Homo-oligomer: A and B are copies of this chain.
Amino acid sequence: MSRILIGVIGPGETATTTNTRTAFALGAAIAQQGWGLLTGGRDAGVMAAASQGAHAANGLVVGILPSEDTAQMSPAVDIAICTGMGQGRNAINVLSSHVVIACGIGPGTLSEIALALKFGKPLILMGLPADLEAALVHLSSAPIAIAPTVTAAIAQTQNFLTREGSNG
């Protein structure tokens, strides 16, 4: 059995302070559960903050980089996967995560949210605008969870993992 990886996605350079604070706490909470953290690997925004949070809590951080090398990687990444595929790597982020948690929004993040819906991957939304949240719930036949707090996001992740495990 490979390690459970929880993907945390969100804006890079355009992340808000709220986004990065939530992402740091989320990374730490994921590590405390014994799960691995998976991010887009760059040293920016939600990716960097979640990685730092997990690292500070002695967690394992997997970074799926868009680039061919690690020049722009968060120093908190433990396992660096260099894809050289740019945004094409977004599908890999989603496919390799057992559960995907979006923390804030931007175009790249939205593409990953959409791919999670496409692949039927368990998805949790945090800090999205209410109109987009409603539109996504409206669009999806799969259940989307909305978590107001990190504690709620972790509880929901546990729910998703239990349900998935019982199918196995």
A138→B43 CA distance, assembly (Å): 26
Q: Is the CB of B105 within 8 A of A110?
A: no
Q: Does A161 contact B (CB under 8 A)?
A: no
Chain B residue nearest to A62 (CB atoms) is: B79
As for how many copies of this chain the complex holds, the number is 4
Q: Contacting chain B: which of A16-24, A25-33, A67-75, A148-156?
A: A67-75
Contacting residues, chain B, for A131 (C-beta < 8 A): 131, 134-135, 138
List the 3 closest A-B pairs by CB distance, nearest first. A111-B114, A107-B117, A110-B114
Apart from the given pairs A82-B92, A109-B114, 18 other A-B contacts in the complex at a CB distance below 8 Å: A3-B78, A5-B80, A62-B81, A79-B79, A80-B96, A87-B91, A106-B118, A107-B139, A110-B113, A111-B111, A111-B115, A113-B114, A114-B114, A129-B138, A129-B139, A131-B131, A132-B135, A132-B139
